[in-house]
Structure 1
């Protein structure tokens, strides 16, 4: 009897010890730190997975929705409420200030596991300030074709949403593959000349836009101009270059359920006494597109628009809006109501 009782007590003690050990292991796993390489090539140690994040870019905010991680976002860039289609989704997230001038006091109150933002934040001291507060800063931009896939994978890993990131990239790459397949036979001398502008400016040779243009069989009329993304040009210069197509981008905050904002921009070219003499205007090949479809998270869909505008004969059976509609429904969980391109 005593032996049986002794065995029972021993088993109970062993089970209790195992329970404590498992709880300890679980706590250790929950607080595990990992070292990642961010988009700037920096080694950053962060908690994994991050459960509280502050996002200082529009594209990271949208990607959080795509990755089904909106509940982990405790703070967003101050313009987030105005983002087309996703702004209202961050109603519970705090205003963390601007991407280049964040509200450090608010971020300290939020006590996030990590803050994600632009590479430029390294240059203006944002990352150093956050480091002094004990908060890691990770460069993850999700808005450049050169590093896009790595950025999406990086944010998926940070948030513990690796499978969601893979699903989104599969959609993204299917569009990029479609474009590549249909434009691969376009020779350099067949590339459509394009004036890419936000109004009175264009991209210079250091603007990083060449990979986008190359993907759709186009060439920029500003490709030889010194400068980056805001090279000022006058209408006479544009006329002298005589682009075949004009693509004018507007901020996503101007995107509405009606096409009026886009039509207004298109009409400004027809009403301009100089620009209306360009081949693009005379042939009715002036187009307007929202920023998110230009260099934002959905740039593959934007490139599909560009490809069709530059080579309509190769994409006559393709409706880029249908891809945007699918994206919005599948990854944002809403129906497409806004007009993003015209």
Structure 2
């Protein structure tokens, strides 16, 4: 018998993943908005503009607005987080993007002066790497509202709330609710099946973000971030056993000792110079497989059971840390439990997102499978 919804949450480790999909930005229905830190935020109003500290917020806005660039006073300029192809698509649709002022991207020191110079109505910032309290107070004293959102650290808990807040900020709540409902239906279907999987049937997974970006190994999600995706689809993230933060480093010796059942490398156009996994509309299937073979053939990684037995995969990093990561969730579900999720069609899901929601659609392929090296 399928577990109750509350039981599902317990089965998923108490992450509160499904319940979060039901929530909207606090106060959104009453006209008083609060961000993910519980701070009051003003709606943009007519002619209002945003600054964003992560290019992937442009993707989020494009799900609910036909011309998201028109809403921006400044952006982070982090083309690789979008992919050069997606940047080109946004630029072709809205040439003004090329001339927008730049602000510091999330993960780097916050630049109050750059935001103030751009004169946004609201600074949209990342919850775990945005301005300090003192910097936020400085912006607000100058008349710039500050809204903290999160598509990165705790995606299942915070993404739907963040998109709902964006919708309320720009007067597109109905569109945000439509996408959140679309995504929730797919996540609920996966969760219902995962709840019935015993713990001893949950494969161990090593996911290496930006594999080969640096000579040393091994970057990994910990508790949060992409690690939440692995847990959600019924896998066991080996990084979460030793990393309390959303991301960090594992010793190669630890990875070899754990000998995971499944290995997943993330990459994209930004990995071309490093010789890593490249994928997207600018690359052929052969180029993607060549890069993935190179990643999987490194010292230590090549000895893993996952590589020897052909359970090695590559995923575009551009599919995660934004609301379209439901596609990545479906992909990982098929990789981790192919016997249960063989009926999922991530390509069809992405096509539907392109058709129904995105102002700048995703073209090309964004994942690959390697049977052997």
TM-score of the superposed pair, with normalisation by structure 1: 0.80
Aligned to 2:121: 113
Calculate the aligned-residue CA RMSD, in Å. 2.7
Stretches of structure 2 lacking an aligned partner (at least 5 in a row): 1-30, 212-217, 272-278, 369-373
Alpha-carbon distance between aligned partners in 2 of 1:46 and 1:336, rounded to the nearest angstrom = 29
Structure 1 residue aligned with 2:252: 235
Residues 56, 82 of structure 2: 8 Å contact kept: no
2:205 is paired with a residue whose SS is strand
Residue 321 (structure 2) aligned to one of 287, 292, 295: 295
Mapped partners of 1:151, 1:195: distance in 2: 28
After alignment, is 67-76 or 225-234 more displaced? 225-234
Deviation at 1:237, TM superposition (A): 2.1
1:252-263 equivalences under 5 Å are 253=270, 255-257=279-281, 258=283, 259=285, 262-263=288-289
Q: Residues 310-325 of structure 1 correspond to what in structure 2 (within 5 A)?
A: 310-325=336-351
Asked if the contact 1:193/1:245 (under 8 Å) is kept, the reply is yes
Q: Deviations over 1:133-178 (max 9, x none)?
A: 2211110223321111111111100000011101111221122123
Distance 1:269 1:80 in 2: 23
Return the index of the structure with the highest Cα Rg.
Answer: 1
CA distance in 2, matches of 1:203, 1:124: 27
Offset of residue 277 of structure 1:
1.9
Number of residues of Structure 1 aligned to a counterpart in Structure 2: 309
2:102 to 96, 102, 119: 96
Structure 1, gaps ≥5 residues long: 1-33
Superposed counterparts of 1:16-55, under 5 Å: 35-48=32-45, 51-55=48-52
Equivalent of 2:221 in 195, 198, 203: 203
What corresponds to 1:30 in structure 2? none
The alignment's TM-score, normalised by the length of structure 2, stands at 0.74
**8 Å Cα contact 1:197-1:247 kept in structure 2:** yes
Q: Give the equivalent residue in structure 2 for 1:136.
A: 145
Query: In structure 2, what is the Cα distance between the partners aligned to 1:332 and 1:253?
Result: 23
More relative contact order, 1 or 2 (CA 8 Å, 6+ apart): 2
C-alpha distance in 1, partners of 2:157/2:219? 23
Give the deviation of 1:42 after TM superposition.
Answer: 1.6
Matches within 5 A, 1:136-215: 136-143=145-152, 144-198=155-209, 199=211, 200-204=218-222, 206-207=223-224, 211-215=228-232
User: 2:230–2:236: 8 Å Cα contact kept in structure 1?
Assistant: yes
Q: Retained in 1: the 8 A contact 2:59–2:322?
A: no
